[in-house]
A = this chain, B = another copy of it.
Amino acid sequence: MLSMTCRNLDFGTRVLDLVAVGSYSNASIVRHSVKYLGKTFTSKVYGARRMVCSRLNIRRTRVFSTNTSEALFDGVGEGTTPVLDLNKEAKSPISLANLFEVVADDLQTLNQNLQSIVGAENPVLMSAAEQIFGAGGKRMRPALVFLVSRATAELAGLKDLTTKHRRLAEIIEMIHTASLIHDDVLDESDMRRGKETVHQLYGTRVAVLAGDFMFAQSSWYLANLENLEVIKLISQVIKDFASGEIKQASSLFDCDVELEEYLLKSYYKTASLIAASTKGAAIFSGADGSITEQMYEFGKNLGLSFQVVDDILDFTQSAEQLGKPAGSDLAKGNLTAPVIFALEKEPKLREIIESEFCETGSLDEAIELVKQCGGIERAQELAKEKADLAIKNLQCLPQSNFQLALEDMVKFNLERID
């Protein structure tokens, strides 16, 4: 069913954005962590290293001291990490701030560069960009580029990140930001996590133009990296973005949607960019084909896991936590993993969805049905499955605090649905 005019087209990367870009201040990240501490908290743990990561103030040097008695690693070790589920009490939850500390300087340089790239052109564009780049944006995608760059750099004997690594991260963040700006135009969204959207503040024209400008800038920087493999990789992503939007828009309220289709759409809209980022980072580290492929798979699986968690939270979080009404994917007819699983069990749900929620209260009823039919649990399993694959993909990397941080990213994501 194609209905293009009235429905929101949603890029579906909200959780990533929650932590990566926008108005999330440091304060709210800390509150998020504190909430978790309050609960009695068990999580699946991959080896002892996780706790070490969380507790320590990780610096960029490879050697660090710790007070825990858990098995430690010394920065360079063999690839013998067991990928087992060890139910251990977490000493503290992973916070993104800790996770990103190892690349904090890289992220700071990135922020400065992005401001000058965008701001140099025009003051209005600068304001528009500031609106979306925001203060305290967490930059998850660039962080991934930096982490993978550093994690693979050792394999190539590199001491530090190259200019191309940094530029790649900037390109990725510009593409992501451009897509958010256009996304808000497509959605006619007024707010993005507490801040007005570019579209709302400056109008459609500025939003379309700012998005076009950023896409154009990133294409130009990409071309000047002069690496055909990476150029093709990222061009594929931009194509995938557009295809994903179109695919989603074409299948709103379509209850025959299969899980594979959903995964493909999620790949186009979210995982494709992340996969290209991680692979590109490995390419610029001079890593060989098998490593770059593993990094691609890592990014893809991580991205899919993110998207599934994102889709779960749309059902399980309150409007306050989400910053918008709950169940908005479903309301728009965008049928995600929890719904697809629930539809297998409950024919009534199909009826309600196909009615496009014309009756008052039918949306709430649908949400209830999704929860009752175990849609959430099965989606959690799917998220976990992708996360497991992502962890496996990391095994080809030498052990380091960067590799640890990458594992922690995977786990941080899952913790959001515990």
Interfacial chain B residues near A208, Cβ < 8 Å: 182, 185-186, 208
| Chain B residues with CB under 8 A of A220 | 232, 235-236, 238-239
Do B243 and A121 touch (CB < 8 A)?
yes
Asked if A182 meets B246 with Cβ closer than 8 Å, knowing A232-B223, A236-B220, the reply is: no
Distance in Å: Cβ of A86 to nearest Cβ of chain B: 44
Q: Is A226 an interface residue (CB 8 A)?
A: yes
Residue A5 CB within 8 A of the other chain: yes
Given A224-B232, A228-B228: A212 in contact with B4 (beta carbons within 8 A) = no
- A246 and B125 in contact, given A186-B205, A224-B232 (Cβ under 8 angstroms): yes
Q: Is the CB of B4 within 8 A of A250?
A: no
Q: In residues 176-204 of chain A, which contact B (Cβ within 8 Å)?
A: 182, 185-186, 202-204
**A203–B246 alpha-carbon span in the complex (Å):** 14
Query: Contact between B235 and A5 (Cβ–Cβ < 8 Å)?
Result: no
**A240-258 contact mask (Cβ, 8 Å, vs B): 1 or 0:** 0111011001100000000
Question: A238, B224: Cβ atoms under 8 Å?
Answer: no
> Known interface pairs A235-B219, A243-B121. Does A9 touch B205 (Cβ–Cβ under 8 Å)?
yes
A121 closest partner in B (C-beta) = B246
Interface residues of A in 325-356 (CB under 8 A from B): none
Count, chain A residues at interface, CB 8 A: 44
Work out how many copies of this chain go into the complex: 2
Contact B209 A235 (CB under 8 A): no
Q: Is the CB of A204 within 8 A of B182?
A: no
Q: Given A186-B205, A208-B208, A213-B246: A231 and B238 within 8 A (CB)?
A: no
**Contacting residues, chain B, for A228 (C-beta < 8 A):** 223, 226, 228
CB nearest neighbor in B for A7: B205
CB < 8 Å neighbour of A205 from B5, B222, B226, B239: B5
Are A203 and B235 closer than 8 Å at their CB atoms?
A: no
A216 at the interface (CB under 8 A from B): yes
Instruction: Check A217–B239 contact: CB distance below 8 A.
Output: yes
Q: Does A206 contact B (CB under 8 A)?
A: yes
Q: Are A186 and B202 in contact (CB under 8 A)?
A: no
Query: Is A135 part of the binding interface, using a Cβ–Cβ cutoff of 8 Å?
Result: no
Query: Do B216 and A241 touch across chains, with their CB atoms under 8 A apart?
Result: yes
Interface mask (A152-194 → B, CB under 8 Å = 1, otherwise 0): 0000000000000000000000000000001001100000000
| A122: interface (CB < 8 Å) | yes
Is A73 engaged at the interface, CB distance under 8 Å to the other chain?
A: no
Docked CA distance A123–B217 (Å):
30
Chain B residues with Cβ under 8 A from A238's Cβ? 215-216, 219-220
C-beta contact mask, A261-300 vs B, less than 8 Å → 1, else 0? 0000000000000000000000000000000000000000
- Mark A115-142 against chain B: 1 for CB-CB distance below 8 A, else 0: 0000001111100000000000000000
Q: Is A2 an interface residue (CB 8 A)?
A: yes
| A237 → chain B closest CB, angstroms | 9
CA distance A238 to B202 in the complex (A): 23
Nearest CB to that of A245 among chain B residues? B209
A185 and B202 contact, CB distance less than 8 A = no
Binding site for B on A (CB under 8 A): 2, 4-5, 9, 121-125, 182, 185-186, 202-206, 208-209, 212-213, 215-217, 219-220, 222-224, 226, 228, 231-232, 235-236, 238-239, 241-243, 245-246, 249-250
Some 20 contacts from A to B, beta carbons below 8 A apart, are: A5-B203, A5-B206, A9-B209, A122-B250, A125-B246, A182-B208, A185-B205, A186-B205, A209-B246, A212-B245, A213-B242, A213-B243, A215-B238, A216-B235, A217-B242, A223-B228, A223-B231, A224-B232, A226-B228, A231-B231
Chain A to chain B: the 5 pairs with minimum beta-carbon distance, closest first: A223-B235, A213-B242, A216-B242, A216-B238, A216-B239
